[in-house]
Structure 1
Amino acid sequence: MAPEPQPAVSAQPSAAPRPTAPEPAASRGEPTRTTVPAPRATAKGAAPSADAVLIRRTMDAIEPVADKTTSYFYALLFLGHPELRDLFPAAMDAQRDRLFKALLTAAKHVDDADTLTEYLSNLGRGHRKYGTRPEHYPAVGECLLGALARYASDVWNEEVEAAWVRAYTAISQIMIDAAAAAELTSPPWWQAEVVNHERRTKDIAVVTVRPDQPYPFLAGQYTSVETPWWPRVWRHYSFASAPRPDGLLSFHIKAVPAGWVSSALVNRARPGDVIRLGPPAGSMIVDHGTDNGLLCLGGGTGIAPIKALVEDVAEHGRRRAVEVFYGARSGHDLYDLDTMLRLEQEHSWLSVRPVVSEGPSGGLTGPLSEVVSRCGPWHSFDAYLSGPAGMIRSSVDALVGIGMPAHRIRHDSVAELVGAAGH
C-alpha cells in the first residue's frame, strides 16, 4: 500500500532545491551522452572523491531508518506530485522501495563512471515502460533530497546537499539520454500473446508467447513482464531459449508465495491472453571470441537461461566443452531434466549433471556450489550462474575459493536476480 502521509511532509520539500530536468541529447540532435559533469572514473584503490565521501556518509546515516526514509520519500512524491501516482502500481507493497533503492545504488557508484553509466542506462531504457518522461525527474530528485534531509539530519548541511544535487543531476541525465536513444529504435514495451501454457509441476509452468513485432534479444538475457491482472507490476524472467526463427519466446515461471505476477502466469494465464514485455536486459551472454569451456550452474527455474546458452553455443557451431550442473531440492523439482538430457544426446561437447540437495538421488547430492567445487578444477572454463540469489552468492564464493578469477564468473546482479526469481 502507499505510505501514510506524515504531518511534516508539506513543509519539507521547500528545504531542498528542485533539480531541473536535463534535456535529452537525442532531442537536440546530438549523440547520446552525459551532458552534465559526469562521474569521474576513479582508479582502483584511489581515494574516493569529496562528493562520494559525503554521499556515503549520508547513506550510513539513513541505513538504520531505511524503511522510514523510503516511506517518507513516497509520501513526499505522491502528496506533492499526485499526477505521478499513476506511474506506480495500485498496491505499493510489491515494489515500494525499488525506485528509492535504485537511486541510492546509483549514488553509491558516483565515482565509477563505467558501472554507473551501464546501470543507469539499463534503468533509463527500462523505465520507459512505466511512462517515465524527462519532466518527471525533477520531482523525484526534490523528494529524494527531502527524505534524505529529514532522516540524515545529523550529517545534512549545504555541502552534503550540493553533493547530492550534483550526483542526482548526473544520474538523471544518463537515464534520460538512454531512454531518448532507445525511443529512436524500439517501443517502450511489446504486446505478446500467450500461445502455449504447459504445466510442468503444480507450481511451475512453461509459458510461450508471440510478440506483436520482432523482439531482439540475446541468449542468457531476461526481460520484465506485466500481466493484465496486475497493471504496472513488472517482474523479471529469463528467456528459456536462444532467439528462434519463428520469433516465439518462452519463459519458465515458478509461482511463489505472495507472487502476484508469477502466480498469475502459472495459474491464470491461458492461450489467447496478452501480456506486456519490457526491453531485454542482462549481461550473462556467451563470449564467442574465446575457446574457454562453459561451466553452467542452473538452480530451479534458473535452468531456463542455461538452456538458452547451450542452444546459442550449438547454433554457433563451435565445439566448446559445456558442463551443466542442474540443481534442485529434490528429483521431482528437476522439471526440465528430460529436455537437458536430450540436448546432451544431440551434442557430444555437452555434459549435463543433475544435483539434488535433499532426499535420495541416483546422482550428485548436496548444495550445488559444493558439488561443483568438488568436480573441478575449472581452469579452462568461464562460469555462468542462474538461480536463486543465495545460490548465486554461494556459488561465486565457492568458485573464487577454488581459484576461478572473478572476471570469468558471469551472472546478473543479485538485486536483479531477486526480481528474476519471480513475484
Structure 2
Amino acid sequence: MGADLSALLKESWTLVEEDQERVAGYFYAHIFTAHPHLRDMFPVQMQLQRERLLSAIVSTVHGFNDLERTDTYLRQLGRDHKKFSVEPEHYALVKSALLRALRYYARGGWNLQFEQAWSDVYDLIAAKMIAGANEDDSPPYWYAEVVAHERRGRDVAVFTCRPLRPMLFEPGQYCSLETHYQPRMWRTYSMANAPRPDNTIDFHVRALDSGWVSGPLVWRLRPGDLIKMAAPMGSMTLDRQSKRDIVCVAGGTGLAPIKAIIDELSRHHNRSRFVHLFRGVRTRDDLYDRAHLDELVAAYPWLVLTRAVSDDPTFAEAEHGNVSDVLRRTGPWQNHDFYVCGSPAMVSATLRAISDMNVPRMRVRYDTFA
C-alpha cells in the first residue's frame, strides 16, 4: 500500500475515530434498511460483528506490513466467506454502506481525496477476496459429526469431529465453526492434529465469559451433534524445507495448532529437528492436557517442554513469569524457526522478544486469537 494512500487513510480516520462505534452501527443499519434480504446472512447478536468490522477498519488504516501474508489472508478470507453465501455483487453494497458511514461521521472534513483512497483500498481488498472465492472449488462449509467430547479443565473442552466428506488442511491452520445452538454465529478454532486416515479432527475450546459459540462448544456439545466447518485458513504451517530446530510458543488454547505441528513432525519420524515447546499459562489450573503433553515428551526424544506460569508463584513444576520473559531467559534461539499462537498480548510480547534476538522475520510464523 503506497505511503500517500496510507497517509490519507490515517488522516481521514482521525475525523471519525471518536465515533467509530457509531460508524459501525450506521454501517449495518444502512445495509439492513436498504437491503433487508441481507439480514439473514448475519447473526441475531450483532455486537461482536460490529467489533470485527471496527477491527478490520483499524487494520486497514494502519496498513499492510507484509504484502505476501496479507494477500494469502485476503484470498483465504474470500473463500471463507462462501459460508455466508456471499456473491461478488454484495461487495459493492458493502462498499457503498462503508463510504456512506465514514462520510456521514466525518461531516465537513470529508473530501474527494479521502473518498478515493477508501474506494481504492476497498476495491483492492474485494478483488483479492473475490479471486480467492473463485479459485476454490470446495463447498461453502462441511458438516461434521462430533464423535467425542471431553472436559479437560474447568472451562476447556477437547472434542473430536469427523467431516461427512474429507476436508483438506495443513497442520497449524484454523477454521470457523458453527453449531445449531447459535445459528449464523461462527468462531475460529485451530485444528489440533495433523490430517488422519479416518479424517477426524480435534479442537481445543475455552469457554469465554460472553462466548456465544465457545460456551455451547464446551458445555452443551455432545457426541452425535452436527456442526458446520468452514474452509481452513492461516499460514502458521510447518516449513518442511527447513532443517533448523524449532521453538514453539503457546498461550492457553493456542496449544492446539502447536500440537498439530508436533503431530505432523512425529508422523514423518522426525529425528533431525529438535523442538522446544514453551507453554505459557496464568496458573497451574490452566495446564489442561498436561498428562498428554508429558506422554509426548516421553515418546519423542526430540521434544522438550518448558511450562511457564505468570500468576502462580508457589507452583514448583514450572518457570515463573510471562512465557515471553521465560523465552528471553533461555536459549540462544537465533538459529531456530518459531511458531507462536496465543492471545494478542502474549503474541505481541513474544514477537518483541524474538525480534530482540535478531531472528529473521521470515522464520517466524504466528497466529493471534482473541
Normalised by the size of structure 1, how large is the TM-score?
A: 0.82
Structure 1 residues 379 and 76: CA distance shift in structure 2, 3 A: same
1:286 and 2:218 matched = no
- The question of whether the paired residues in 2 share the 8 Å contact of 1:106 and 1:116 is answered with no
Instruction: Tell me the CA shift for residue 371 of structure 1.
Output: 0.8
- The question of whether the paired residues in 1 share the 8 Å contact of 2:334 and 2:357 is answered with no
Instruction: Find the residue that maps to 1:411 and give its secondary structure.
Output: strand
Instruction: Tell me the CA shift for residue 105 of structure 1.
Output: 3.2
Task: Out of 151-160 and 326-335, give the one that drifted further.
Answer: 151-160
Partner of 1:313: 265
Aligned partner of 2:109 among 120, 136, 155: 155
Residues 195-248 of structure 1 show CA distances to partners (whole Å, capped at 9, x for unaligned) of: 000111221111100101111111111111111111111111111111111100
Q: Distance in 1 between matches of 2:148 and 2:289?
A: 16
Q: Distance in 1 between matches of 2:350 and 2:338?
A: 10
1:98 and 2:57 matched = no
Instruction: Tell me the CA shift for residue 266 of structure 1.
Output: 0.6
- The question of whether the paired residues in 1 share the 8 Å contact of 2:77 and 2:233 is answered with no
Aligned partner of 1:400 among 347, 355, 359: 355
Partner of 1:324: 277
Residues 307-352 of structure 1 show CA distances to partners (whole Å, capped at 9, x for unaligned) of: 1111111222332010011222222221112111111111111111
Q: Distance in 1 between matches of 2:241 and 2:67?
A: 26
Aligned partner of 2:82 among 121, 128, 132: 128
1:391 and 2:343 matched = no
Partner of 1:379: 334
Q: Distance in 2 between matches of 1:220 and 1:111?
A: 22
Q: Distance in 1 between matches of 2:70 and 2:205?
A: 30
Partner of 2:141: 189
Q: Distance in 2 between matches of 1:411 and 1:157?
A: 38
Q: Distance in 2 between matches of 1:97 and 1:371?
A: 33
Partner of 1:270: 222
Q: Distance in 2 between matches of 1:63 and 1:274?
A: 41
1:143 and 2:125 matched = no
1:346 and 2:282 matched = no
- The question of whether the paired residues in 1 share the 8 Å contact of 2:24 and 2:53 is answered with no
Counterpart of 1:336, as a letter, is D
Counterpart of 2:342, as a letter, is G
Partner of 2:213: 261
- The question of whether the paired residues in 1 share the 8 Å contact of 2:21 and 2:54 is answered with no
Partner of 1:54: 8
Normalised by the size of structure 2, how large is the TM-score?
A: 0.94
Unaligned runs of 5+ in 2: none
Which of 1 and 2 has greater Rg? 1
Structure 1 residues 398 and 315: CA distance shift in structure 2, 3 A: same
Instruction: Tell me the CA shift for residue 407 of structure 1.
Output: 3.0
1:409 and 2:361 matched = no
Q: Distance in 1 between matches of 2:169 and 2:110?
A: 44
Q: Distance in 1 between matches of 2:226 and 2:121?
A: 39
Partner of 2:130: 176
Instruction: Tell me the CA shift for residue 186 of structure 1.
Output: 0.4
Q: Distance in 1 between matches of 2:113 and 2:354?
A: 43
Instruction: Find the residue that maps to 1:191 and give its secondary structure.
Output: strand
1:67 and 2:36 matched = no
Structure 1 residues 177 and 107: CA distance shift in structure 2, 3 A: farther
Residues 150-176 of structure 1 show CA distances to partners (whole Å, capped at 9, x for unaligned) of: 112343122322333233223222211
Structure 1 residues 354 and 105: CA distance shift in structure 2, 3 A: closer
1:77 and 2:55 matched = no
1:301 and 2:253 matched = yes
Instruction: Tell me the CA shift for residue 187 of structure 1.
Output: 0.4
Aligned partner of 1:203 among 155, 178, 186: 155
Counterpart of 1:273, as a letter, is D
Residues 33-67 of structure 1 show CA distances to partners (whole Å, capped at 9, x for unaligned) of: xxxxxx6xx6xxxxx14x33322321232222211
Instruction: Tell me the CA shift for residue 140 of structure 1.
Output: 0.7
Say how many residue pairs are matched.
367
Counterpart of 1:198, as a letter, is E
- The question of whether the paired residues in 1 share the 8 Å contact of 2:27 and 2:97 is answered with yes
Unaligned runs of 5+ in 1: 1-38, 43-47, 419-423
